[in-house]
Amino acid sequence: MLKGFRDFLMRGNVVDLAVAVVIGVAFSGVVDAFIEAVVDPLIVSLAPQQKLDQAFVVGPFKIGLLLSAVLAFVTKAAVVYFFIVRPFRNMAARLAPAPAPAAPPADVQLLTEIRDLLKHRQ
């Protein structure tokens, strides 16, 4: 029973996932600070002298709060995609070994052999 649990923990996927969660949480703080420092002031500039959650209020609904959450999500997704996913995908593509050339189909090999035999025959 303990061996199975140990094997589960030692699989690469579990460790990679744990590292990704820790890095994601740490990186989330950076993105949240960016949103607070840059994005929120831009939104508030549309309705000066108010806090973001009070900037766009329609009846009992705080549209500004929802707008802030949506912008935070889109900003986080964009930062992750453009600054993490794409660069690492490009780096992995450069570091990956070139694929071995595929062997020609059997009919092409046969035709090549026939051609070579005819050349030697002459």
Alpha-helix runs per DSSP H in the chain: 2-10, 12-34, 40-44, 52-55, 63-80, 86-95, 106-121
Whether the pLDDT of residue 7 is over 90: the answer is no
Q: Among 35-44, 45-54, 85-94, 101-110, where is mean pLDDT lowest?
A: 45-54
Confidence of residue 71 (pLDDT cuts 50, 70, 90): confident
pTM of this prediction? 0.45
Overall fold of domain 2-121:
1.10.1200
Rounded distance between C-alpha atoms, residue 90 and residue 57, angstroms: 44
What is the average pLDDT across 83-98? 81
